[in-house]
Amino acid sequence: MNHKFPDRFLWGTAASGPQLEGAGSVGGKAMTVWDYWFLLEPEKFYQKIGPEVTSNFYDQYKEDILLMKDAGFNSFRTSISWARLLPDGKTINEEAVFFYRDVFTSLRENGIEPIVNLYHFDMPYRLYFKGGWENPEVVEEFKEYAQVSFDCFGDLVSRWVTFNEPIVPIEMGYLNDKHLPAVHNMTRAMQAGYYTLLAHVKAVSAFRQSKQQGEIGIILNLTPSYPKSDRDEDKKAANWADVLFNRSFLDPVVLGHYPAEIKELIQNENIDIQYTEKELDLIKNNTVDFLGVNYYQPRRVQASRNEQVDSEKILEKYFQPYEWPKAKMNPHRGWEIYEKGLYDIAINIRDNYFNIPWYVAENGMGVEGEEKFMNESGEVQDNYRIEFMEDHLTWLHKGISEGSNCFGYHVWTFLDNWSWLNEYKNRYGLFRLELETQERVKKKSAYWFKQLAKTNQLPTKW
DSSP letters for 204-264: HHHHHHTT-SSEEEEEEE---EEESSSSHHHHHHHHHHHIIIIIHHHHHHHHSS--HHHHH
Of the candidates 441, 462, 461, the one whose C-alpha atom is nearest the C-alpha of residue 71 is 441
- Confidence at 291, pLDDT banded by 50, 70, 90: very high
Arithmetic mean of pLDDT, 263-276: 93
Query: Among residues 165, 339, 370, 423, which one is catalytic?
Result: 165
Q: Are 151 and 227 in contact (CB under 8 A)?
A: no
- For 348, other C-beta atoms within 10 Å of its C-beta total 17
Tens digits of per-residue pLDDT, 435-449?
A: 999 999 999 999 999
* Residue 264 bears catalytic tag: no
| pLDDT recorded at residue 309 | 64
Mutual angle of helices 444-455 and 383-401, in 10-degree steps: 20
* Residue 362 bears catalytic tag: yes
Which pTM value belongs to this model? 0.96
Whether the predicted pLDDT of 226 surpasses 80: yes
Of the candidates 197, 188, 236, 187, the one whose C-alpha atom is nearest the C-alpha of residue 220 is 197
DSSP summary character for residue 441: E
- Confidence at 421, pLDDT banded by 50, 70, 90: confident
| pLDDT recorded at residue 462 | 63
Q: Helix, strand or coil for residue 116?
A: strand
- Report percent pLDDT > 70 for the chain: 98
Tens digits of per-residue pLDDT, 201-221?
A: 999 999 999 988 999 999 999
| Exposure b/e, 63-72, CB count within 10 A at least 16 = b | ebbebbbebb
Q: What domains are there in the chain, each with its CATH number?
A: 10-455 (3.20.20.80)
Tens digits of per-residue pLDDT, 309-342?
A: 666 677 888 999 999 999 999 988 789 999 999 9
Query: Among residues 171, 336, 362, 370, which one is catalytic?
Result: 362
- Confidence at 353, pLDDT banded by 50, 70, 90: very high
Q: Helix, strand or coil for residue 117?
A: strand
- Confidence at 167, pLDDT banded by 50, 70, 90: very high
Tens digits of per-residue pLDDT, 375-402?
A: 999 999 999 999 999 999 999 999 999 9
Whether the predicted pLDDT of 141 surpasses 90: yes
| pLDDT recorded at residue 423 | 81
| pLDDT recorded at residue 123 | 96
| pLDDT recorded at residue 202 | 98
Query: Beta partners for 75?
Result: 12, 113
Average pLDDT, the chain: 95
Residue 383 CA: distances (Å) to CA of 70, 98, 246, 367: 20, 39, 31, 12
| pLDDT recorded at residue 79 | 98
| pLDDT recorded at residue 271 | 92
Q: Are 75 and 115 in contact (CB under 8 A)?
A: yes
| pLDDT recorded at residue 258 | 97
